[in-house]
Amino acid sequence: MTTAVRTTVPDTAGGGAGDTSPRRRARRYEALSGYLFVAPAVVLFLVMGVYTVGYGFALSFATWNGFTPDWTWVGLDNYADLLWRDPIYAPRVRHAALNTLWVMVAVPTLTVAVSFPLAVLLNQAKRMQSVLRSVYFVPYVTTGIAVFFAWQYILQPDGAINTLLDGLGLGSLAQPQGWLGNPHTALPTIIVVTVWSSVPVSMLLYLTGLQGIDRSVLEAAQLDGAGWWRTNASVVWPLLRPITAIVVLLNLRESLQGFQTFLVMTNGGPGDHTNVLGLEAYRLAFLKNLSPTLGLSSALGWILFAVALILALINLRALRSKT
């Protein structure tokens, strides 16, 4: 910052010793303004972004409880402990990884399975489109603790979902312990809630993609005798593959790293049946009080980052080879 202030002086003074041509002076003025315009963003980024990322990375190689003045450096021990060595944490991580894997398979698949047909149908309903689009968007806008409590409320033992099932004559499907209380239904239920909140953005992306398709392509398909199903399955779906790639990637990342729904709705229960890796990292960092698990939490966070990066690269590769 101080250097920036100093260099403004020759400019405002009408040119220093080195500035002979006005062209060069203009270029210097422009570069200087450039630095001044990005300065606030860069300063914030250096402190809140770069510093914290570096700090977290360093912490993942240390043992610390957050209170003692010094870190104990342990090298890669945290990573080894999490992945296979520690008799307490390694099995927990493995269990959480399995749950996370389920979420990572189910959420993107179901989101695509719901949002693609929904977008196709919505694209045909010209008259109601804008109203319906707003209605479909409400889950995205409100995603957060309030709406998760609403889900919790309707999923309780005598909540609306069980009542609805009874009313439809499907009482045998109702869950007397509540949908989040039964170890077998808790994870699938959270998956459904997650899909519910991720459909809006995916549907919107598909809808934009659909509106970008050249009409003549569809008419050509129809002239060739393709019906509605055939056109959508063999023409529209392949054309929108790049959008599917984005939708899958966004949802994979969120499934891998997100845990807010789990924290609010079940806190990992019943009996760790809905514990996921993000939640485990959160617990190791914030719920262990005086245990020296902060390094472990950091290491787990970086493992999540590495997996996300690998997935993004695979996704990019797959996308490129097909187009």
Partner 1 sequence: MTSISVKARPVTPDDARARRRRLIARTVVGVLLGLYGLVSVYPFLWMVSAAFKDQVEVVRGGHLIPQNPTFDTLVDTWNKLHFFDFFMNSLLVTVYTVVLTVVVYSAAGYAFAVLRFPGRGALQKLFVSLLFVPGVTVMLPIVMLENKLGILGTHFGLVLPFVNGGAPLSILLMTGAFLAVPSELRDSARVDGASELRIFTGVYLPLARPALITVALLTAIPTWNEYLLTRVSLNDPSTFTLPLGLQTLSSESVPHYNNLMAGALIVVIPVIVLFLSLQRYFVNGLVGAVKG
Interaction between residue 216 and partner 1 (CB under 8 A): yes
- We find the least distance from the C-beta atom of residue 105 to partner 1, in angstroms, to be 19
- The answer to whether the beta carbons of residues 227 and 142 sit under 8 Å apart is no
200/202 Cα distance (integer angstroms): 6
User: How many Cα atoms sit within 13 Å of 153 on the Cβ side?
Assistant: 6
User: How many Cα atoms sit within 13 Å of 194 on the Cβ side?
Assistant: 33
**Position of tokens 């049946």?**
273
- The answer to whether the beta carbons of residues 308 and 256 sit under 8 Å apart is yes
Interaction between residue 167 and partner 1 (CB under 8 A): no
Interaction between residue 323 and partner 1 (CB under 8 A): no
Interaction between residue 59 and partner 1 (CB under 8 A): yes
Interaction between residue 312 and partner 1 (CB under 8 A): yes
154/12 Cα distance (integer angstroms): 66
Choose which of 62, 82, 97, 118 interacts with partner 1 (CB under 8 A): 118
Interaction between residue 169 and partner 1 (CB under 8 A): no
**Window 196 to 215, contacts with partner 1 (CB under 8 A):** 196, 200-201, 204-205, 208
How many residues of this chain interact with partner 1, rule: CB under 8 A? 89
**Window 218 to 257, contacts with partner 1 (CB under 8 A):** 219, 228, 246, 250, 256-257
Interaction between residue 132 and partner 1 (CB under 8 A): yes
Helix axes 183-211, 145-155, angle to 10 degrees: 130
- We find the least distance from the C-beta atom of residue 146 to partner 1, in angstroms, to be 4
Interaction between residue 70 and partner 1 (CB under 8 A): no
Interaction between residue 191 and partner 1 (CB under 8 A): no
Task: Tell me whether residue 87 is exposed, middle or buried, using C-beta atoms within 10 angstroms of its C-beta: 0 to 12, 13 to 18, 19 or more.
Answer: exposed
Region class of 195: left (phi > 0), else alpha (psi between -120 and 50), else beta: alpha
Interaction between residue 278 and partner 1 (CB under 8 A): yes
- The answer to whether the beta carbons of residues 255 and 194 sit under 8 Å apart is yes
Q: Tell me whether residue 51 or residue 237 sits nearer to partner 1 (CB atom).
A: 51
- We find the least distance from the C-beta atom of residue 126 to partner 1, in angstroms, to be 11
**Window 15 to 54, contacts with partner 1 (CB under 8 A):** 27, 29-35, 37-38, 40-42, 44-45, 47-49, 51-53
Interaction between residue 153 and partner 1 (CB under 8 A): yes
